[in-house]
Amino acid sequence: MTINSLQAMFDGEQLLADLEVLAQIGVDETTGGMVRLAYGAADRAGRAWVRGEMEKLGLAVTEDAAGNTIALYPGTEPDLPPIALASHTDTVPHGGKYDGALGVLAALAAVRTLHAAGVRLRHPVAIINFAAEEATMAGGTMGSRLMAGNYDVGLLQRLGWNGRSLADILREAGLDPNRITEAARPVGSLAAYVELHVEQGGLLAETKTAVGVVSGIVGIRRYQVVFLGYANHAGTTPMASRRDALWLAAPYVLQVRDVAVAHGIVGTVGEVTVSPGVANVIPGRVELSVEIRGLETAVLDAAETELRLAAEAVGAEFDFVEDKEPVLADPRIMEAIAASCRALGLLHRVMPSGAGHDGMNIVQLCPIGMIFVPSEGGISHSPDEYTVPEDNVNGGRVLLETLLRLDGVV
């Protein structure tokens, strides 16, 4: 059977219907947003429904020790590692119905097409619905972190969205917290990883581009910058005598912006803590959270150096908080996605992902790639998140086409 005939069998209407069914699980009737928080009752219900749809195709479905759901469609060469199509169905509080869900349900639609046609590829195909992708549970991308073998000491004692420890939340979800390291898979256990996701930004919609070929997932660096002054009475201390920590911090906020613009990255001061934080006292201490994101390590290094020197020049403390290195997409997967767009007559562009995704962990196991489709208005993590039906279906078709092309490449 040809690729064109398989595309003709792709059931876009079923994909759209699946999105609507899943969107009713965990919906908040007041806001219309999704509340499928990691390992909670609504999350488990959504995952159970997806699992049922997988089992309708006769797929072998398992749940690993971290709660990741993995369905396997056999290949003609069973000794080959699977090609993974993956995303997640948990949400942020009052999130949208496309973030994560589209990738899982489009993967299901792609395998449904193969099943309906009676076609098997050389590689097995794994559909993975990752657990706890959103940062509601001891940080984000937890299920994929554990699959990649990245277990942090103290993880089980960290608090989740309901204020309880991860260990307690896992037990309530029917998982054994003492066995979560068993979710780790060896390097090479997957042949390739491809994830379809809504962009979560506005570039594709603004430029009327159907598909984004993701070049990589940006690195994220976070710092704490502390400015010290001297707290004193706001009414009796003359202006010339003040050591106001906020006066030192304010220009630095603008420097973060200027450094980011100069290096072609993004920079954000997301938190400002002023102490003692009352109207009639001069600020004696100001703490800033500073974050920069970019796809090139050398560029991040240069920006970090400038920010550190600027802080030190005014006597501020510049401390490292977090570093997630950039992850580059595999050129073979990028080309398979681009070729699929050309074959389907869809305008595409190469672009980075400014948000984190499970692929930034799975790259430790196999080459990765991602496909973006437009988010109208650039809105995500909101009940107003919207991707038009045609774009959802186009994304599913590109995912299927990419899978077929990769089968002969990886």
Q: With a cut of 70, say whether residue 326 has pLDDT above it.
A: yes
DSSP strands (E only) in 74-207: 83-88, 125-130, 192-198
pLDDT of residue 1 exceeding 70, the answer is no
Token digits of residue 241: 């005598």
pLDDT, tens only, 121-172: 999 999 999 999 998 987 889 999 999 999 988 899 999 999 999 999 999 9
In the prediction, which pLDDT does 183 show? 98
Give me the mean pLDDT over the 187-206 stretch. 97
| pLDDT at position 56 over 70 | yes
Q: What is the pTM of this model?
A: 0.91
Who contacts 197 (Cβ-Cβ below 8 Å, separation ≥6)? 87, 99, 100, 102, 103, 353, 357, 370, 371, 372, 373
Residue 280 has pLDDT above 90, yes or no: yes
Average pLDDT value over all residues in the chain:
96
pLDDT of 5: 83
What is the distance between the alpha carbons of residues 278 and 144, in angstroms, rounded to a whole number? 43
- pLDDT tops 70 at residue 279: yes
pLDDT classification of 107: cutoffs 50, 70, 90:
very high
**What's the average model confidence in pLDDT over 68-78?**
97
380 in Cβ contact with 344 (< 8 Å): no
Read off the pLDDT of residues 268-278 as tens digits, 9 standing for 90 and up.
999 999 999 99
- Write down all domains in the chain, each with its CATH number in brackets: 3-217+326-406 (3.40.630.10), 219-324 (3.30.70.360)
Burial class (CB in 10 A: 0-12, 13-18, 19+), 191: buried
3, pLDDT greater than 80: no
333-384: per-residue pLDDT in tens? 999 999 999 999 999 999 999 998 999 999 999 999 999 999 999 999 999 9
Q: Can you give the pLDDT at residue 138?
A: 73
First to last CA, the chain: 21
